[in-house]
Amino acid sequence: MFNKDATDNSTYNVDNFEFIKKTSPKVGALIEQEYNRQKNNIELIASENYCSEAVLAACGSCLSWKYAEGYPYVRTSGNTSRYYGGTKFVDELEEYCCDLWRQVFDTDYHVNVQPHSGSQANFAAYKAILNPGDTILSLTLDNGGHLTHGSSVNFSGKLYNMEFYDVDANGFIDMEDVRRKALEIKPKLILTGASAYSRIIDFPKFAEIAKEVGAYFMVDMAHIAGLVAGGAHPSPFGYADIVTTTTHKTLRGPRGGLIFARPELAKKVDSAVFPYAQGGPLEHIIAGKAVCAEEALKPEYKEYAHQVVANCAAFCDEFLKMGYDVVTGGTDNHLFLLDLSKFPFSGKDLQDRLDEVGITLNKNCVPNEKRTPKETSGVRIGTAPMTTRGYKEDDFREVARKIDAVVKEMVAEAEAK
């Protein structure tokens, strides 16, 4: 793994670009440049992380060659239901992967490990329980939701009737607004989960409201899944009817998705993934997901998850001490948002300037956003990747001061114009 000083990569065998260059000098060179960027930059993108060498090796294995449309076993007969031969070993692998993920989240939910991404997991989850035109009650993108939670440019906003609950004046999900709108519009599905929300989500209250109005309750835990697995965030299992996630954020696995569902929804979920939304599963990625699950079951993973949260709290607190506005006034998880509305530059401007000095984060909308989504009035900051690289609280406090120095330079430049 890259150490925090980025001076030694001898224990992290991913620099295979020299081998690739023998066949493709251009591709090998680009991979080398990206490798060095990741190695030398301070990585603060909340949706990214560094997976283990074992996960990378599984994803680059001979399983890349294998087609295996269908599922390993028909539950009533125990026979394979693949549409290809030669699937004995990938059948065992996929069943093993499913078993591991139930252990990770201590659940008896059905799990489908085939979704290629979190977006495809959400696409299939909606299909399993909804018809086009059905109403979903969700959190908007501006308030921390995800593109697949109802954005008008996304399939979710085009296929379904989207209604949105709000956050309060402090940026917290307004549970009274959730209940009021649920009673008013009677949605078929109530959805929670976020890509830029820094507080604990009240899963029991959401479940209570969904039950009250006769709606399904779904949680997209893509960002917080690793924290849930490590016991650093409350779990949605037992409350939600369907839970979706990615495996590459706080879980530190390969890029891919998972769907968990109550057992009575298993058949609908499976058929929504295959054959409705996807063809052959990526068995090499499923192998990486299995390795990731094994790692998440180790005691040191729980230590990591709690360190991510502790680091984020310290990082956020340093900005607050320096007088910055933070959406919700703090954080309970792995990320927080700086609100730059009062500054003479946008989130995009700060993102670009920090890129120049080796600090990587991303622009992000804030509640009551006044700028365009391409500019934004905020930046999203996460601690999961650099925690993987060994950063502790004091390291993140130092990074906060480095970012502050850049902000001060940008303010001075704006005032001098």
List residues with catalytic annotation: 67, 69, 220, 246, 249, 255
- φ/ψ (deg, to 5) at 264: -70, -15
Q: Which residue has the tokens 């296929």?
A: 159
Q: Are strands 216-220 and 242-246 parallel, antiparallel or unpaired?
A: parallel
Q: In 41-130, where does DSSP find H-type helix?
A: 53-59, 88-104, 118-129
Residues in Cβ contact with 174 at an 8 Å cutoff, skipping those fewer than 6 apart: 165, 166, 167, 168
d(CA 400, CA 5): 17
3-state SS assignment for residue 385: helix
The angle at the Cα of 223, spanning 219 to 227, to the nearest 5 degrees, equals 95
Estimate to the nearest angstrom the gap between the alpha carbon of 123 and the chain centroid: 15
Residue-wise burial string across 21-36, b where 16 or more C-beta atoms lie within 10 A, e elsewhere: eeeeeeebeebbeebe
Alpha carbon distances (Å) from 179 to 138, 176, 326, 336, 417 = 12, 5, 27, 26, 49
DSSP state string for 3-34: -TT----TT----THHHHHHH-HHHHHHHHHH
Conformational region of residue 133, where left means phi above 0, alpha means psi within -120 to 50, and beta covers everything else: left
3-state SS assignment for residue 170: coil
